[in-house]
Structure 1
Amino acid sequence: MNSKKLSGNGRWEASRMMLPEHREVLEERSHPGSIETKKAQIPTREELEMIRDAVLLPVMLTMIEKNGKEITLSMNPLRKLYSVATLALMNRVHLELAAVNRELRERKIKIFKDDREDTDLHFRYICRGYEDKFSIMRDVARASISVKIGKHIQNISAELNKKV
């Protein structure tokens, strides 16, 4: 009866005075390959950033396109300049998105949109068999997109300054 209460409750295992390294060796001996498999499946920080970019870049493209259409329809005398700048920005973002998607495919990572009705963006991803969910608050998404747009504009500006 005592052993039933003690096993599986977490307290007994924690009080055995086992170092994490020893626990990994013990688990590896009882289930060969399982620890390395688990570690290999969990996405790295870089992969998580790529997943975030794969989610945000299409939203960013939509925002830029919408603003570009508004500028084109406006009566602003600089609308042609703004339209050209918008196209240059969209081309850069599209190239970045293509590169991110290509890298995700090579690393066997898939992303799926989760259809929840609230203000956040919800997604699922599968990374080499490891499946998880993540959400991005709309305010955080907007801030991240603003930063990315700023970096692209800065790069375009730097390239134009080199040519002049």
Structure 2
Amino acid sequence: MSKLDGNERWKTKMIMTEHVEQFEGQQRDAGGKMITIEERTMVRDLILLPYMDTMVSKSLKELEHSGNILKRAYSMAGQAIQRRIMQDTYQLQKELKQRNIRVLADEQEEFLVYYKIFCRGYQERFGLTRDVMRTEISLRLTQYTADLGSVLRDHLK
């Protein structure tokens, strides 16, 4: 008998291989009606993009009031990133609509944000922790900045 036997917390934290196989079998049996991993990633991105837009907007407002001599260049870069965020949001909304997937905000707890996903007749609850959101937003903003930098480098050559 191990120390974890009888500890109910561990039962919900571990995924055993038979559970993974059971989940994959349910997805095959549903005939493509359940949400796929790719679609789940699209939903996650659609949830995060408005937060990113808000962060960039706040940063641009702070920049307006700063005395930085490169204020105009930073502002143009921020606006370009914001346009890209809006384009990505529009594309994701369009793609999810074509796949008959809707996402609605559900509730917020202290460290979790929940959303309801309506996917081809099924309903699912999707939760993101604030730490995961921060990490993903940071990675995406870094990618947008790198993309903008490569466009500028290519243009200056």
Question: 1:56-67 maps to which residues of 2 (within 5 A)?
Answer: 56-67=48-59
Gaps of 5+ in 1: 1-19, 25-34
In structure 1, the residue matched to 2:150 is: 158
Deviation string, structure 1 residues 21-65 (Cα, Å, up to 9, x no partner): xxx9xxxxxxxxxx8772321111110000001100011101111
Tell me, in whole angstroms, the C-alpha distance in 1 between the residues paired with 2:28 and 2:129.
33
Compute the displacement of 1:74 (Å). Answer: 1.2
TM-score, normalised by the number of residues in structure 2: 0.79
Question: 1:64-75 maps to which residues of 2 (within 5 A)?
Answer: 64-75=56-67
In structure 2, the residue matched to 1:53 is: 45
Tell me, in whole angstroms, the C-alpha distance in 2 between the residues paired with 1:39 and 1:100.
23
TM-score, normalised by the number of residues in structure 1: 0.75
Aligned length: 133
Distance 1:106 1:37, change over 3 A: farther
Compute the displacement of 1:153 (Å). Answer: 0.9
Q: Percent identity?
A: 31
Name which of 9, 33, 45 aligns with 1:41.
33
Gaps of 5+ in 2: 1-20
